[in-house]
Amino acid sequence: MSYSASNRGVQGVPYHSIDNLTSGWMSYQAQPSSTGSAWGTQYRAIYVPIRVTAACVVLKLGYLSAATGTGDMDLGLYNSAGARLVSTGTITKDNSSAVVGVDITDTTISPGLYYLALNNASTTDTYCATALSAPIPCAYGVLVEELASVTLPATASWTVGQTLSFIPILSALLVTEVA
């Protein structure tokens, strides 16, 4: 069956995607720029909060890439306690301005607060992001962690992102669990 916009969401075929812009708690002021923001700090993992309102199975994780860089990266999903539920493992960043979806192990989650996470090995790789003066991302609940490698940790030791000046736009492709 082919995908079409008319069958998105839980009222039709229950495939849908969520992201931290539309399914987080960011106001409309936080519009992303397609020119992208450089990652800035090697191995700084950024955790962005999202709300999941129904039980679902996460099929893919995604990010909005910008044109610069093909460094190593890791993309993950965490629960509100900081436990990693699933991640892509180390992958190569796409160097086009596009939404990039990455297959993961299908992961069932219940409604609640979750964090999408991204870590990058290069300081210059760019991602489509919302640029905001520090500490505004912190006020949106964005968390950070300085790591020693690109691999996202099994348990996050995150802190508030007081100096962070952008919020990457991360996403998840879901199928709502109707059973």
Residue 92's alpha-carbon distances to 4, 53, 125, 127, in angstroms, are 29, 31, 11, 13
Phi-psi region of 52 (alpha: psi -120 to 50; beta: other; left: phi over 0): beta
170 binds other proteins (CB under 8 A): no
* 18: contact with other proteins by CB under 8 A: no
Among 83, 89, 92, 111, the residue binding other proteins under the rule CB under 8 A is 111
Cβ proximity to other proteins, 89 vs 112, nearer residue: 112
Q: What is the largest CA-CA distance in the chain?
A: 46
* Residue 144, token pair as written in the block: 């950070």
Rank residues 47 and 63 by Cβ distance to other proteins and give the closer one: 47
Q: Which is nearer to other proteins, 55 or 99 (CB)?
A: 55
Alpha-carbon span 144 to 132, nearest angstrom? 15
User: Which residues are near other proteins by CB under 8 A?
Assistant: 10, 24-30, 49, 51-54, 80, 111-113, 132-136, 138-141, 143, 158-160, 162, 176, 178
